[in-house]
């Protein structure tokens, strides 16, 4: 086949055939197609889209570029969750042991943060000794013994996506819904789970700002999961305001432990419990042990401790704390009616909690504590945020991001809370 012919097919708005898709994905993964040619094909897809038949085959070819995990002999159904990323989104941390404590096996392959959204692996690596990279054999053993694992995806899982993702990032083709959906779902399907719940974030702090596009992405991913034998549902959830009261690695671990202990911010608890019930229903465990009971009886916390120890971590060790703290105070009294998630995420990133490039390191103790959320009444001089950084010269840039992050209105101003769960997509 000739890749130029395939580029021309997509450029002119026509569909690629199964054999053409299989060939182009395999050839690019092997290195037989030049980067500039694949860039042209991605741009053609960006502008002309893909049919559902094309997208199913494209995703299947990406899965076939590497290994597909299986988990025989677990004695319990597998289920997983994927979030498209947001500010303060630490939900995977309490969610995984809660669902495992209710009888499911949770093989959670996660990633690192880039830009203003934090990565689950970065958060967990703030725990002394914890390691993200484990072998497939270790993963299977941990699922049998503990029921829960959060780890990095191995190099053998959907290697085509790794190359395509890097190329999309430098060719302005990231926003293509077919390419987003195939990237996410190829990894999740190859992961080997039988059921999947997608948390598609919508709002200023999310990758998807527009509700209609978020809904389209959710429906596309649900369709891909179903077409490949994975029972898949999606929730659209709000990301105009940060989740919880922390943004930063160790700070978010501490907040997750509060949830597992029966406390924690109401929005984090609500989303965790909602997603847990969806995951259990998706894998056939609806009507069994409820996530609320798993928290109350301590079994979720016990599962957390065993999960952390199984990957070399010490769940009793003190979490890292940044060397410097600085409060940001309210300039006026009234009711908080807006707290910009993107501004908070950028500030936490500038404080050292995130990275600009994949090879950058993060500061585990850096980040922000939020002392007021929309609906709260504050007085002038009251702390709205506490900034945490190992390098106090980072405060100035973080404060620039926060200059218009909070809107305070009169206490009697009309205000109503926005729903956290916007919509459900799937059967």
What does the domain layout of the chain look like in residue ranges? 3-49, 80-310, 324-409
What lies within 8 Å, CB to CB, of 244 at 6+ separation is 88, 90, 252, 255, 264, 265, 267, 268, 370
Token output for 280:
């259990």
Token output for 211:
């509700």
Q: Which residue is it, tokens 């995130």?
A: 354
pLDDT at residue 115 in the model? 65
203-207, 310-314, 356-360: range with lowest mean pLDDT? 356-360
| Residues noted as catalytic | 82, 161, 168, 183, 187
Residue 160 has pLDDT above 90, yes or no: yes
Beginning with the edge strand found earlier in the chain, give each strand of the sheet holding 406-409 in spatial order.
377-378, 334-339, 406-409
Q: How far apart are CA 388 and CA 90, in angstroms?
A: 18
Task: Quote the strand ranges of 51-167, DSSP E.
Answer: 80-83, 106-110, 148-152
> In this predicted model, what pLDDT tens digit does every residue of 68-111 receive, in sequence order?
999 988 999 999 999 998 999 999 999 999 999 999 999 999 88
Q: What is the separation of C-alpha 388 from the centre of its chain, rounded to a whole number of angstroms? A: 23
Query: Of 267, 205, 246, whose CA–CA distance to 364 is shortest?
Result: 246
Mean pLDDT throughout 282-294?
Answer: 96
pLDDT at residue 174 in the model? 87
Token output for 99:
């669902």
> Residue 402 — φ and ψ, nearest 5°?
-90, 5
**Residue 328 parent element (H or E):** strand 324-329
> In this predicted model, what pLDDT tens digit does every residue of 14-26 receive, in sequence order?
999 999 999 999 9
Residue 67 has pLDDT above 70, yes or no: yes
Residue 130 has pLDDT above 90, yes or no: yes
Burial of 345 (0-12, 13-18, 19+ CB in 10 A): buried
Question: Which residues in 297-325 are b (16+ Cβ under 10 Å) and which e?
Answer: eebbbebbbbbbebbebebeeebbebebe
Its pTM stands at 0.95
- CATH topology for 80-310? Pyrimidine Nucleoside Phosphorylase; Chain A, domain 2 (3.40.1030)
Q: Taking a C-beta distance cutoff of 8 angstroms, is the pair 74, 67 a contact?
A: no
Token output for 279:
């995951």
Token output for 337:
């009616």
Q: How far apart are CA 159 and CA 174, in angstroms?
A: 17
Beta partners for 40? none
What lies within 8 Å, CB to CB, of 112 at 6+ separation is 119, 121, 122, 355, 358
Residue 391 has pLDDT above 80, yes or no: yes
Percent of the chain with pLDDT over 90: 90
> 3-state class of 242 per DSSP?
coil
In the structure, what pLDDT confidence band is assigned to residue 118 with cuts at 50, 70 and 90? Answer: confident
Mean pLDDT throughout 244-258?
Answer: 97
> 3-state class of 176 per DSSP?
coil
Q: What is the CATH number of domain 324-409?
A: 3.90.1170.30
Q: CB 281: neighbour CB atoms within 10 A?
A: 17
Question: Which residues in 106-134 are b (16+ Cβ under 10 Å) and which e?
Answer: bbbbbbbbbebbbbbbbbbbbbbebebeb
pLDDT at residue 356 in the model? 73
Superfamily of domain 3-49: Transferase, Pyrimidine Nucleoside Phosphorylase; Chain C (1.20.970.10)
Residue 419 has pLDDT above 70, yes or no: yes
pLDDT at residue 114 in the model? 64
In the structure, what pLDDT confidence band is assigned to residue 360 with cuts at 50, 70 and 90? Answer: confident
Category of 261 on φ-ψ map: left (φ > 0), alpha (ψ -120 to 50) or beta: alpha
The Cα-based distances of 347 to 88, 165, 252, 268, 321 in angstroms read 12, 26, 15, 21, 17
């Amino acid at each position: 086949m000739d890749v130029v012919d395939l580029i021309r097919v997509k450029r002119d708005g026509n569909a690629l055939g199964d054999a053409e898709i299989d060939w182009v994905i395999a050839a690019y993964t092997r290195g037989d197609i030049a980067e500039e040619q694949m860039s042209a094909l991605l741009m053609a897809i960006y502008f002309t889209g893909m049919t559902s038949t094309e997208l199913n085959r494209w995703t299947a070819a990406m899965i076939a570029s590497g290994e597909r995990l299986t988990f025989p002999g677990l004695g319990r159904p597998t289920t997983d969750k994927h979030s498209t990323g947001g500010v303060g989104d630490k939900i995977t941390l309490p969610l995984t042991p809660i669902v495992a404590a209710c009888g499911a096996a949770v093989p959670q392959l996660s990633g690192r943060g880039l830009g203003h959204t934090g990565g689950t692996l970065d958060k967990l690596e703030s725990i002394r000794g914890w390691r993200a990279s484990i072998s497939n054999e270790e993963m299977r053993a941990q699922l049998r013994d503990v029921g829960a694992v959060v780890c990095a995806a191995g190099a053998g899982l959907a290697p085509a996506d790794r190359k395509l993702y890097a190329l999309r990032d430098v060719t302005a083709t990231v926003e293509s819904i077919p390419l987003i959906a195939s990237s996410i779902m190829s990894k999740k399907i190859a992961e080997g789970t039988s059921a999947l719940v997608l948390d598609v974030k919508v709002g200023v702090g999310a990758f998807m700002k527009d509700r209609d596009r978020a809904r389209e992405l959710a429906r596309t991913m649900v369709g891909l999961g179903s077409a490949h034998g994975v029972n898949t549902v999606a929730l659209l959830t709000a990301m105009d305001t940060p989740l919880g009261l922390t943004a930063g690695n160790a700070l978010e671990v501490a907040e997750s432990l509060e949830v597992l202990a029966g406390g924690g911010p109401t929005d984090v608890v609500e989303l965790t419990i909602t997603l847990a019930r969806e995951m259990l229903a998706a894998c056939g465990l609806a009507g069994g042990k409820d996530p609320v009971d798993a928290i109350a009886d301590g079994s979720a916390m016990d599962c957390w401790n065993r999960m952390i120890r199984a990957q070399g971590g010490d769940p009793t060790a003190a979490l890292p704390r940044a060397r410097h703290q600085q409060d940001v105070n309210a300039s006026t009294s009234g009711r908080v009616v807006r707290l910009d998630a993107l501004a908070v995420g950028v500030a936490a990133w500038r404080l050292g909690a995130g990275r600009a490039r994949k090879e950058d390191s993060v500061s585990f103790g850096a980040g922000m504590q939020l002392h007021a959320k929309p609906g709260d009444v504050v007085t002038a001089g009251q702390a709205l945020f506490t900034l945490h950084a190992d390098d106090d010269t980072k405060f100035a840039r973080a404060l620039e991001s926060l200059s218009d992050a909070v809107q305070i209105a009169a206490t009697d101003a009309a205000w109503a809370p926005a729903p956290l769960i916007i919509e459900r997509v799937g059967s």
